[in-house]
Amino acid sequence: MHSNGEGRCDLNLGYDGEPSAISTVAQVTGGRYGRIAMNGKEVYKFATARAPEVLAEALGTAGISADEVDWLLLHQANIRIMETVAKKLKIPMDKVLTNLDEYGNTSAGSIPLALDAAVRAGKVKPGDVVAMAGFGAGLSWGAAIVRWG
């Protein structure tokens, strides 16, 4: 997992709140969130650069090469991002799990929702290696490699 706050201007959800002390050592904030702000071109460049890097890092840590990956599962933000990341990793699109066309971008829920659907459909089977990567506001990004079941 990684983060770099310098990218916050490209994808963020502002919060307007007032702190309120609940003790001498803690406070809470009451307020509300604003609208999501995104610079799509910059987020695309960020995601297509960082997702392959963090996946390569996770694969290296797991001792697995990209050609051993049975399924690639990325944050379901944009099909072009998924295609570019798969191409950079030399993983064919028929190994990319996606439900973007059915549900759209479901934010932080996109990876678990797509994984659940793939397991229920019988695509992901016990022993399969699933390489997953997500990215989001801030900017933040991370990856995990799992051997299913």
* Residue pLDDT, tens place only, 40-77: 999 999 999 999 999 999 999 999 999 999 999 999 99
d(CA 143, CA 29): 31
Q: What number of helices (H) and strands (E) belong to the chain?
A: 4, 7
Main-chain phi, psi angles of 119, to 5 degrees: -70, -45
CA torsion, points 142, 50, 16, 25, in degrees to nearest 10?
40
Q: For residue range 20-37, list pLDDT tens digits in order.
A: 888 888 888 888 888 888
Secondary structure of residue 112 in the 3-state scheme:
helix
Structure-block tokens of residue 60 = 């290296």
For residues 70 and 54, the answer to whether their CB atoms sit within 8 Å is no
For residues 42 and 10, the answer to whether their CB atoms sit within 8 Å is yes
Looking at the predicted structure, is the pLDDT value of residue 14 above 90?
Answer: no
Secondary structure of residue 101 in the 3-state scheme:
helix
Q: Where are the domains of the chain?
A: 40-147
Domain 40-147 listed as CATH 3.40.47.10: yes
Tell me the pLDDT of the chain averaged across its residues: 93
d(CA 149, CA 31): 42
d(CA 67, CA 106): 28
The arithmetic mean of pLDDT across residues 85-110, rounded, is 95
Longest CA span, the chain: 56
Contacts of 82 (CB under 8 A, 6+ apart): 72, 74, 76, 93, 96, 98, 100
